[in-house]
Amino acid sequence: MPFSKINISFYPLSEQNSEAVFSVIIPSWNNLEMLKCCIQSVRENSYFAHQIIVHVNEGVDGTIDWIKSQNIDYTYSVNNAGVCYSVNAMAALAKTNYIVFLNDDMYVCKFWDKPLYDCIKSLPDNNFYLSGTMIEPIASSNRCAIAPHDFGRTPAEFDKAGLDAFAASTNKTDWFGASWPPSLVHKSIWQKVGGYSVEYSPGMYSDPDFAMKLWQAGVRHYQGIGSSLIYHFQSRSTGRVTKNDGRKQFAQKWGIPASYFYKKVLQLGSKFKPESKLKMNKNIAYFVAKLRALFISIF
C-alpha cells in the first residue's frame, strides 16, 4: 500500500479538560486489549490529568467503538497509516503544550509523569527531548532499558502487582540520548521540525530521524528520566508491514549513520551529566562515519 495516499479522518472531542498537562498520542493497529491496558494505566497511574489521543489503524477489532465509549480524541485511517502519518495526525489534535508519544504496548507505572514534568520545569527553555525509561521482559543491546524483567507479554498474563513492587524499588539514574517512545517534546518544537518525516513510512528509523531534526533545530538536551518508568510488553507489529530501508534513508539524508549519531553524538545510554554538553565533533571518527554513510547509501 502506498503511504503517499493515506487518508486520515479527525475526531476531536468538543470539550477538553482544561487541567490536562500532556497530550499523550498512541497509535494502535487492531491491538485493542493492549490499547485498553495502556490507556487504563495512563488514567490510573498519572500524577496529572492528560489529554489522550489515539490513532486507529483499520480498527476491525472493535477499537473505534471502544474509543467512542471512552470519550477519547482519535484519528482514523481505513488502512494502516504507519507510525509517521499516525503521530503527525494525532499531534494536530494536541491541546496542551507537551506531546508524549507512547506505543500501545506500553504500561505507564505509578506517577510516571511527575519526574518528566519536574524536569521540564527545571529547564531554561523548550529545547529539550525527554524519554521515560522502559522496563522490558527481554534483554537486548538497549542500554537505556531495565531488562530482563518479565511481568508478562500480554495483558492477560500481566503481573501488575509484581511490576508495581519492582518499579517502587528500582533506582535507575538518568541517561543521555532520549530518542524514542515513551518520549516528550514541547508542541512548539514538534511543529518547528514538522513532526515525523513521512518518507520513512511505515516507520523504520523515523525515531533517529526525528531526533536528528531536533538537533538541526538547535536542541541539545536529550535526557532519559530514570524515575519515569514504563513497562514495555514488546508486542511487535512491524512483522505485519513491508519495512522501509530506514538505515539507508538516514545515511543518505544526514550524511552519517544513525548508529554514529546515537552512540557518539547523543551518547545513548550513558549516565546523564547536566554539566556535559552534547557535541558533533568534526574529528577523525566523524569523517570515518561519513565514509560509512556513503557506503550504506550506495550499497
**What confidence tens digit (pLDDT) does each residue in 44-99 have?**
999 999 999 999 999 999 999 999 999 999 999 999 999 999 999 999 999 999 99
Which residue type is seen at 214? L
List 224's β-bridge partners, or say none: 131, 175
- CB-based contacts of 141: which residues, under 8 Å, 6+ apart? none
Distance, CA of 30 to CA of 236 (rounded, Å): 12
Distance, CA of 79 to CA of 8 (rounded, Å): 9
Nearest partner of 119 among 250, 40, 226, judged by Cα: 226
Tens of pLDDT along 253-292?
A: 999 999 999 999 999 999 999 999 999 999 999 999 999 9
DSSP state of 128: E
Which residue type is seen at 282? K
Cell of 207: 525515531
For the chain, what are the domain ranges?
7-298
CB of 75 closer than 8 Å to CB of 10: yes
pTM reported for the whole predicted model = 0.96
Cell of 65: 467503538
Question: What superfamily would CATH give domain 7-298?
Answer: Spore Coat Polysaccharide Biosynthesis Protein SpsA; Chain A (3.90.550.10)
Nearest partner of 194 among 210, 178, 215, 216, judged by Cα: 210
pLDDT on residue 177: 96
Tens of pLDDT along 28-40?
A: 999 999 999 999 9
* Alpha-carbon torsion (65, 63, 137, 172), positive or negative: negative
Question: How large is the average pLDDT for residues 148-157?
Answer: 96
- CB-based contacts of 83: which residues, under 8 Å, 6+ apart? 27, 196, 200, 201, 202, 203, 206
Asked if residue 1 has pLDDT above 60, the reply is no
List 185's β-bridge partners, or say none: 99
- CB-based contacts of 227: which residues, under 8 Å, 6+ apart? 115, 133, 172
Tens of pLDDT along 90-124?
A: 999 999 999 999 999 999 999 999 999 999 999 99
pLDDT on residue 3: 60
Instruction: Give alpha helix (H) positions in 123-222.
Output: 160-169, 187-193, 206-216
Which residue type is seen at 127? N
Tens of pLDDT along 191-249?
A: 999 999 999 999 999 999 999 999 999 999 999 999 999 999 998 766 678 899 999 99
At residue 16 the predicted structure's pLDDT band, cuts being 50, 70 and 90, is: confident
pLDDT on residue 299: 87
Distance, CA of 152 to CA of 239 (rounded, Å): 20
Cell of 48: 496529572
Instruction: Give alpha helix (H) positions in the chain.
Output: 32-45, 63-69, 82-91, 113-122, 160-169, 187-193, 206-216, 246-254, 258-260, 284-298
pLDDT on residue 127: 98
3-state SS assignment for residue 102: coil
Distance, CA of 149 to CA of 160 (rounded, Å): 12
